[in-house]
Amino acid sequence: MNTCVEFTSDIFRPVLSEDAQVSPQVYGAELAWWLCQELAKIGIETTYPNIEDWGWFIEYVVEDNEYWRCCGNDPDGVDRRRIYLSPRAKGIFGRNKAPTEAASALLEGVASVLEENQSISGITWSADYA
């Protein structure tokens, strides 16, 4: 199942200086904030953006399954962005990860909001996220 999407857009450029970023040249706050707002407009509720040293994510919970929708940039491509799905584990040691199939509404919602935005181009889906 395709859970990673890459695309090009200049609307997610960092608002703050490089010194204010989590890690050097690691962006995603603007994308994560936009994504949670756009998903909410179509009835898919997530959390506000959260931060990690590798970038930003929004959480999505359905039934007892938790997913992170991770948002970042491609360091080799100007204005190239990446969003991937990270099913979270229900147990310790990373066991019993949430099934990807249960996140289908989230995946469809992301596809919809990306495709409807005229400032986004070069949308490519894959099963890879790294």
For the chain, domain boundaries: 4-126
Separation of CA 17 from chain center: 22
Region of residue 29 (left: phi > 0; alpha: psi -120 to 50; beta: else)? alpha
Q: What is the pLDDT of residue 129?
A: 62
pLDDT in tens, 32-61: 999 999 999 999 999 999 999 888 999 999
Q: Report d(CA 29, CA 104) in Å as an integer.
A: 24
Beta strands per DSSP E along the chain: 4-8, 50-52, 55-62, 65-73, 80-87, 121-126
Position 104 confidence tier, pLDDT thresholds 50, 70, 90:
very high
Give whole-number Cα distances, 68 to 3, 30, 54, 121, in Å: 11, 16, 13, 23
At 109, list the tokens: 């919602």
